[in-house]
Structures are given as structure tokens and as C-alpha cells.
Structure 1
Amino acid sequence: MIRRLIDRIVLLSGWRRCGLAFLVGALASFALPPYDFFAVSFIAFPVLVWLLDGAVDNAGKSPVRRLLPAAYVGWWFGFGYFVFGLWWIGNALLVDAANFAWAIPLAIFGLPAFLAFFYAFAAALARLLWSDGIGRIFALGFGFGVAEWLRSFVLTGFPWNAIGYAAMPVPVLMQSSVIVGLLAMNVLAVIVFAMPALYGGRQSRIAGLAVALILIAAHVGFGLFRLSTAELKLDGPEIRIVQPSISQDLKWDAEARRDILDKYLAMTAEKPGEGKVKPQIIIWPETAVPYILTKTPDALNAIADALADGQTLLTGAIRMEEPGGGEEPLYYNTIYAIDSHGQITGAADKVHLVPFGEYVPLENILRKIGISEVVELPGGFSAASVRRSLEVVSGFTILPLICYEAIFPGEMSYQGAPANAIINVTNDAWYGDTPGPYQHFRQAQLRAVEQGLPMVRAANNGLSGAVDPYGRIIDALALDAVGVIDVQLPGRVQLLWGEGIHQFQFTVVLLAVLIVALWYFLRSRRRVG
């Protein structure tokens, strides 16, 4: 019965083949937060393999045209995956529906249609190395590995919902990222997820089962071992995370500014709960302060009045820089450090801006046809040239990540003193009660594991929380909750490899997988010859 089903899948053509690819791509998205039903990947990827088995049209045509059927399958798989995984982005455009409702179809379908080309490339590249049995599984892992690597930097990059996250839904399964990193995990996850495709054939079933079991055992076993031997010292400062859940349509309302600031100040001044001590550092979310602080001394004075002696506030705000000479001011998405005297003691600007959210690509062309960024400022935001660590209090330095900077594992290098913690401030109120905030939190959680640093995340409406260097949640607030969390941070942990080694590890894994795929491909060609 299963054999007949597989044969029917392989023999599908036209819209039926593309339609099934779309459906299994959509199914694969349910392996992501908040569902975390990773078992669906063991269905989606085998079906993708069988669809690619049948993607052999255009015989006798040019090499590129021979790969088009596979590319179509990969594109439809990716389109289903990204539509169902990223539909929530359209919610951000409802905040100012009068100006941006027209762009909702572009957000829900246009962005997934573009991202699907990476998976079209993955399928075509895999099909180029296709062979019988287990070789094609390694070819698929290689194709997706290259595609996800390209997705991490092409056109500024957007590695959101990389396949590897489906293999790391809980802390025990996150520990392997310390060894291989997310990019290599993308390769290995696809290989393991696709192995059930061998059930339908006689070749390589035992070898495939062995490879899958070895990788799964290593993945789970290392996680169990690392967590069982984890030792943490609570020697970091006491931190308060403030989550006010300000409605997005009020954040930039001039009449609501003072009420918003007062709400932050009141939550900052709340007494610690039973058994808690006064926090040394208070953290507000991204763009929490509804003023240009350097132009509003009254706001700084109000902050100073709310802070106890010795306390420091870390807050997101817009920073304005006036170049002079009649030039337009520059605006930065910034984290400020403010002491109890109302003095700004440090600042860190966002490095990786959101296209169309904070700036307009090809600005000279697109602005002429009426396209602007969602957060509209004269000229948009400017980006910092480098990421710098920020000393908050004596002996405590942070790695500042603003909003979606936390999704880029390859961009965690920075200048300055070694960091003691990651601070991720964000405003996910744009996306409402959708999968977006859960996906964002998970990706930030993985950065803590990869960097061996505790991570504190302050989000306007959630998910806010503190995570230890092993990815375990110390405490958190639910989506749309209003409240504060007081936590003491643990110290950093020693990593197995030095900084930057994950790119090398990815290269080694990718080359090893390519060698296996090539060996089976060449062996199948010799057999045919």
C-alpha cells in the first residue's frame, strides 16, 4: 500500500505535483514555533524527495531546462513553507492600514514567493547530484545547506525560520548548535528528516536508518550530557525586565507620549517581589521612550526620579544626530544606558536594519513611486557601521541586539570588551497574537546557546524573558501580559570552539555531505554506462 502511494507521488505531474509540493511545504512550517510539531518534517521531506524523483521532464533539453521541473517543485515547497510560516508579517501593515493595506498581499505572498526561489535553487542543485538510494538524501541536504547559507546574507539576508530550527525545539536539542552552528544544522536536519524516503526502495535502507539513528543519538546524547554537567553561578547583576504591552497604534501618538512614559516609570519603580532584591539594571523594550531624549531633558529628569541610587536603565529609543551644514538629521534605532542622575552613559546603535521597515532599498527609485518604510522618518533610519559591546555598570558589559538582529548567527561579532550577556530589545506588537513573536524568541534563545551567554529579552508586548547560556528559560512573561520580571543573571560559559568557528564547521559538514552525494552520483553514472 505504501509502495503504491509512493509510486503515485513520483508519477505526479503538472499542477498536481506543484500542489502537493505546496501542501507538504506548508505542513513543514508546523515544525516551527509556536507549534513545534517537528514530526511533520519526517513526512514533508520524504514527500519532497519522491516529488523530485519524478521531476525528470524535459529530457534532451539544455542542462538548465532539465533542472526546471525540480526547481518548480522546490519553489512550490518553499512557497507553502514561507506563506504558512510568515503570513503574520502582513499583520504589521494593519497598524497603519490606511497607508499600507495595499501592501498586505505583497507581505503575505510576495515575500514568500521571493524566498521560495532559494528552495527552488536547493532542489535544482540537489537534482543535479541526484542518484538512487541514500545518495539523493545527501544531495538534498547539500542543496538546502547552500540555499540556507545564501539566505543568510543575500540582499542583506533573511534567515528567519531556517530548517535547522525545526530540529531544536527544546534546550536539550539546542546544544548541538554549540558544536556545528545553525548553518550546519540546516544540512544535517534535512538529511535526517528526509531519510524515511528510503522506505520505499530497496537500496540503502539499512545505511539510511543507521545514519539517521547515529545523528539523532549524537544530537540528543550531547544535549543530555551537556545539560547534566552544566554548572552555573548566579554572579551577575539583578535585572528587571519591563513589558508594558503598549498598543502599536499608540506608540507614536503625540498625545499619548506622556502617558506611555509614565507607565514605564511606574513599572520601573515597583517594589521587588518577596525574596527579591532591588534590581541594579532595568531594561525597557525597543523604541520604548517616545521622545528624542537628547532634545527632551524633562524626560531624562523623569527617568532619574524613577531610578533609585545606583540603578541603570537600558532602553530603546530613537537617537538623532545633526550633521550640521544644513544637512538633514540622521536617525538611529538605539539602546541607551542612563544612570540614576539622568545622564546618558552609553549608547549602541542598530547595525542591521529591516528593509522596508526602517529603510527603503533602492530609495531613489522606490520613493518616487510612493513606497516608504513602515516606521517613517525623514530619510529613514541610518545603520551603525559596526556592532560594539556596551558597558552598563562596572564589570558588566552587554552584547546589544535590537529587534531582528538576533536572527543572524553569523553577525554576532563585535568590537569592545567581552560581553557578559546578550540584551535583545524588540517590539513585536507589530505582529499581534501570531506565531511571529514565538519564532522571534526561539531564534534569540539559540543565540544565547551559540554564544555561551545569558540572554535578556525585553519586548513591548512579549515574549519577554531571561534565558541562561544553555537556552533554558529562567523566567518569562506571556504574550500581551503587562508586568515586570526580576532575575539575577548567571555568568557566561566556556564554549568548545572559539568565535567564528561555526563557519568552518559548516564548510566541513557541507563538503563531507557533497563528497557522499558525488560518490553516489558518480557510481550511479558508471552503473548506467
Structure 2
Amino acid sequence: MKKNILLSVISALLVVASFSPLGTGLLAWVGAVPLLFALQGVCAEWPCGGARKSFFLGWLWGFVFSVGTIYWVVNSMYYYGGIPLVPGAFIMLVLAAYLALFPAFFALLFYFTADYRPLFRLFVIPALWVSLEFIKSFLFTGFPWALLGYSQAGFTTFIQLSDIFGVWGISYWVMLLNGGIFLFLLNLAHGSGRRGLRIEPFLIFVATAAVFIVVVVYGLVQVGSVNKETALWPEVKVAAVQGNIGQAVKWQHSEQKKTIARYSALIQEASVAFDNADGVAADNNGPGLIVLPETSMPFFLARDPDMLPLVKDVARDSGSYLLIGSPDYKSDGEGGHNILNAAFIFSPGGDITGRYDKMHLVPFGEYVPLKRILFFIEKLTAGAGEFVEGRGLYPIELELGGVKTSVGTFICYEAIFPSLVAELARGGPDTSADTARTAGTARTAGTARTAGAARTAGLLVNITNDAWFGDTSAPHHHLDMTIMRAVENRTFLVRSANTGISAIVSPTGEVIEKTNLFEAAVITARVGIRQGGPTFFGRFPNLFPCAALIFSAIIVILSLRLRRRY
């Protein structure tokens, strides 16, 4: 058992090292192999009583992996939540222990399905893995951080399949590679003296290689095809502005005018870059889009009689659309107010013409769940009270690149939810009554959306404030997840982060421009406005993981029934 424990720990460390910023994504192809051998060792040694041991090995793997990928939680709680280091570390360990339950159940299901033929197991193992990742994405509001597929975000060719299957398909492919190596070596060793198993290593090798080749060929073909298609899209100038304003001071009232002044200077820098681009471009397709980070204006901008005119002047001077993050509020119907995490669009004329209110809030960051029970816990976000979710996942409509389009805007934590961004990318909720009530709802919500307009978002925008993370791996992980959203929906994406990493990403996942951490910066590019309908994944973002879940459930049920029979 000691050997199996060691293999599990080594495996977890290898997979942690496959994620950014280490940039060793190829480790993910083999990182889970030691875990699979450890679990197989339990199956061989305790064929009838190894369920608990398998569960423990999976939990241990998950605990080590989770500590290695969410250790930044301690930084957030210590520096911004006022929680001492030791209690903060304890809370992080509790969260890691919970997240470890998902690999633990994978290990348990691995044990129950160990009697199937090796070639069939090649496809069962990744299905079990994806099923547990998918459950983790929605259980208790969901926390799909550091899914296995994100380890490949730096390899453009390998992630193209996500326009069909999403990050779930990339996770499946990576775990299939691990399973193929594991099953090939296992059967090569155990089957050499048994005629019936001699062909198994060969079949496993061929099947694994075939899947690998299909993914690579599809990736190469799609990169070329998408690049040709995007070259025909109407172009628009975009900029991501990174203010690098410290979390400790940004909510102070005395800093408000300084904040506007800093962003005004950066916006001016972006405008100069736009003018220079117009000088060398064949034509000028009208105003560009300059994106500022989440809560870049850390006050109630839309309702502040002193600050709002200053920002309107900045918008007019820029000659571009400005997308600005700022809190807002609405009546709670009981004489009080609810706080919203909003993104406002300012037109080149200085008017607010659209907005999006964040839908998926950060537990304990923007609100405290079960407040009556957890009354002693305060949220991490300073200065504005507790937030509530907005009215829905509706893109903001405007005219860019000489065409009417919409911008699918998602804020911070929402970037880690594939189906949420897919809904924004395809134009919002698909309900029959939506078109009829669109004009009225747009007026009441302040969103510039008109009945009969094209639904599919022409551009994706992510605004965030990753200052919470500090100089940890988290900003890199967060960017990788955002890259995957661009590929899943085949749409250019602009990301503005307060302290970094800001980026402009192509529909193939290529990072066109990006900033470093903790610097004030502006990045600009000319990007295409997506034409046509949503991708297959955009239409059916949960189809593949649900299919994997159903398939896994059937296999596990059949396995349990067979075990009871014998």
C-alpha cells in the first residue's frame, strides 16, 4: 500500500506541474499514469475488498492536486479577507479535502469497472473522469477550476476539438492518453504469456494512436480553416487597459479621482494606438472598443453626479466605445438596495448605451451563502456590500466594425463556466417569449438590445480583477480558462484584468497580445467580428459531459450488478 500511496502523490504532483505557469502541459499526457497503476495495484491485491483503499488513494491524489492548484486561496483570505494565515490555511485545506472527493469517486468507480476488457476500459476511464469533472462544475454552485483539459491551453493544435466538445473533450482526450499508456504497459507485462491477451497491447496502442492522430489532424485543419474564415470578418480596433491599482487602496474614496486620471491616461494611450493603426490600415471602420477591468471604477459610477461627467468626458475624448466595470445597485423592494457587479458601455458620445450585470457570483467573495448560519463570516470584497445576480445572460448590442453586433461580456469568475459563456456567445437565453419582450426588458435593464437583432455575439469580453490572487499560479490558470472560451465559441476575445494578465485571444486560442502581471499597460489589436451562428459546442455545451455521465452511470450499474451476481 505504501508503494501505491507514493505513486498517487507523484502522479498528483506531475499533473500540477502540467498547468501554467510552468508551461509543461505535455506532462498531463502521462501524469495520471502512476495513479492508474496505483489503483490497479489495489484491484489486483484486493479484488473483493479494495473499494475503500481505492477511494483513499483517489482522495489523496485529489488532495495533493487541489493544494497545488488552489493554494492561492490563502493569499486572498490573508491579504484581503482579514483572516490570519493559520486559519486561512486551514480553510484552504478543508476546501482541498472537499475537492479531493471527486478524484476519490473516480478511483472508486475505476475499481468497480476494472473487470472490463482493456480496450473497452480505454474509453471508460476518461468517461468516468469527465463525469466527475462535470459534476464538480455545478455541485454547490460549482467550482470547475483546473480541469485537466486546461493543461493544454498553451498548445493551439490540441485544443481545437473544443469547438465541438468543449474543455470536456480535451479532458477526455488527455485522460485517454494516460489510460492508453497505462493499459498498454499493463497488458504488455501481463499478457506476454497468455495467448488471449497477446493482441490487447497492440489494439490499445492502435486505438490510442488513432484518437491522438484524429485530434492533431482536426486541430491542424481547423487552425487553417478558422484563420481563413476570420480574415473575411469585419474588423474592429480593440484595446485592453490594465490599471494595476492595488486592491488595498482602490475602494478608498480619496482615490476615486486618481483612479479616473490613471485610466484616462491609459485610454488616451489606446486612442493614440488606434489612430496610428488607422494610419496604416486600408480603411477606418469607425470607433473601436476599449475595455477596462472589473470594478475599474470602484464607486456607483452610473449614479455618481460628480464622477459620471468626468468619465463621460473621457469617453467623448477617446472617440471609442468604453466598456467599464463598476458596481451598481437596485431596489430590493423592501426599502433597501441590492448591489450589482456591472459592466457599462459608454458610446463615443459619452452616453451609457448598454450594460451587463454579473450572474454567477463568487461564494464568500461577493456574497456569503447560508448567511443566517454563517453570520460570523464576512465576504472578501471590500467597500460595496453584498452582491446579487443580474437579470440574465444577455450580450450588449452596439455597432462595431461598421456592423451591428453584440458583445458577450462575462465578469471574473464567470470565465470558468463553459456553458455560461456559451449562452452569452449564442445571444442569451433561448426562450420563445424572449424576442417578444426584448425591447421592454432592454429598457428596464439598461441593456442596448433590440428585437430582431442578430443573436450571436460578435465579440467576447472578459473583465476581471485578479489582484486577489497575488503573484501565484491563479492568474495564469484563469487566463487559460478564458483562452478555452474563445476556442469553444470561435470568437475573438478581449480580456482586461486590473493587475493582469490582460490578453487579446483569437478564435483558435492564439494569444495575440498579453500583458505581464502587476504593471499598468495597454494592449491593442485589430480583430474580426464573428459572423454566422454559434459553434456546435455553443449550441449544446453540456451534451458531451452529459453523455459521458450517462455512459459512466450505465457501465457502473452493470458492473455492480455483475459483482453481486458473482
TM-score under structure 2 length normalisation: 0.82
Q: Could you tell me how far apart the structure 2 residues matched to 1:508 and 1:19 are?
A: 34
Answer with 123-132 or 212-221: which moved more: 123-132
Query: How many residues align structurally?
Result: 507
The residue type paired with residue 127 of structure 2 is F
1:93-138: per-residue Cα shift (whole Å, max 9, x none)?
2323644545421453222111110111111112111126344443
The counterpart of 1:39, out of the listed 13, 23, 26, is 26
Letter in 1 for 2:327: I
Q: Distance in 2 between matches of 1:479 and 1:109?
A: 27
Structure 1, gaps ≥5 residues long:
1-12
- Please, which of 455, 460, 479 is the counterpart of residue 441 of structure 1? 479
Contact 2:10 2:34 (C-alpha < 8 Å) held by counterparts: no
Larger displacement relative to structure 2 (397-406 or 226-235) = 226-235
Bigger shift: residues 198-207 or 222-231 = 198-207
Structure-2 residue corresponding to 1:281: 289
Distance (whole Å) between structure 1 residues aligned to residue 127 and residue 456 of structure 2:
35
Q: How much does 1:17 deviate?
A: 3.1
SS at match of 1:287: coil
Q: 1:465 to 1:167 in 2, by over 3 A?
A: closer
Which stretch of the first structure deviates more once superposed, 438-447 or 256-265? 256-265
Residue 469 (structure 2) pairs with residue 461 (structure 1): no
What does residue 219 of structure 2 align with? 223
After superposition, give the CA deviation of every residue in 1:325-359 in whole Å (9 maximum; x if it has no partner): 53x21101110112345432221100000111111
1:518 Cα deviation after fit? 9.2
How far the C-alpha of 1:73 sits from its partner, in A, is: 0.9
Tell me how far apart the structure 2 counterparts of residues 348 and 283 of structure 1 sit (CA, whole Å): 14
The yes-or-no answer on 1:144 pairing with 2:133 is no
CA distance in 1, matches of 2:124, 2:477: 28
Distance 1:306 1:60, change over 3 A: closer
Residue pair 1:286, 1:402 contacting (<8 A) in 2 also: yes
Query: Alignment partner for residue 325 of structure 2, among 289, 295, 316?
Result: 316
**Superposition RMSD on alpha carbons, in Å?**
2.9
Quick one: distance in 1 between partners of 2:295 and 2:340?
Answer: 10
User: Is the CA contact (8 Å cut-off) linking 2:122 and 2:180 kept in structure 1?
Assistant: yes
Decide which moves more: 508-517 or 164-173: 508-517
In 2, Cα distance between the equivalents of 1:358 and 1:176?
Answer: 34
Q: Give the structure 2 partner of residue 205 of structure 1.
A: 201
Deviation at 1:176, TM superposition (A): 0.8
- 2:347–2:353 CA contact under 8 A, matched in 1: yes
Deviation, 1:507, is: 4.2
1:422 matched to which residue of 2? 460
Q: Give the drift of 1:438.
A: 0.9
Q: Aligned to 2:378, which of 368, 372, 383?
A: 372
Change (3 A) 1:459 1:513: same
Residues 1:96 and 1:58: Cα distance change in structure 2 (over 3 Å):
same
Letter in 2 for 1:483: A
| Residue range with higher mean Cα deviation, 372-381 or 74-83 | 372-381
Q: Is the CA contact (8 Å cut-off) linking 2:113 and 2:555 kept in structure 1?
A: no
Contact 2:364 2:380 (8 Å CA) reproduced: yes
Residue identity in the other structure for 1:110 = V
- 1:83 is aligned, of 51, 57, 67, to 67
Question: Does the residue aligned with 1:354 lie in a helix, a strand or coil?
Answer: coil
- Whether the 8 Å CA contact 1:350–1:401 is kept in 2: the answer is yes
- Three-state SS of the structure 1 residue aligned to 2:101 is helix
Q: Does 1:452 align with 2:490?
A: yes
Structure 2's unaligned 5+ residue stretches are: 192-196, 279-285, 430-448, 450-454
TM-score (structure 1 length as normaliser)? 0.88
Alignment of 1:403-418 (within 5 A): 403-411=412-420, 412-413=422-423, 414-415=428-429, 417-418=455-456
1:483, 1:163 → 2: CA distance? 31
Question: What residue is the counterpart of 2:272 in the other structure?
Answer: 272
Deviations 1:209-246 (CA, angstroms, capped at 9, x unpaired): 11211111111111111112331235232122111111
The 2-side partners of 1:392 and 1:398 are apart by 8
Corresponding position of 1:258 = 257
1:333 to 330, 341, 344: 341
Q: How has the CA–CA distance of structure 1 residues 486 and 166 changed in structure 2, closer, same or farther, with 3 Å as cutoff?
A: closer
CA distance in 1: counterparts of 2:536 and 2:522, whole angstroms: 35
Structure 1 residues 517 and 36: CA distance shift in structure 2, 3 A: farther
**Which amino acid in structure 2 is aligned with residue 354 of structure 1?**
V
Match of 1:214 in 2: 210
Between 291-300 and 312-321, the greater mean CA deviation after superposition? 291-300
Shift of 1:44: 2.8
Distance in 1 separating the partners of 2:322 and 2:468: 24
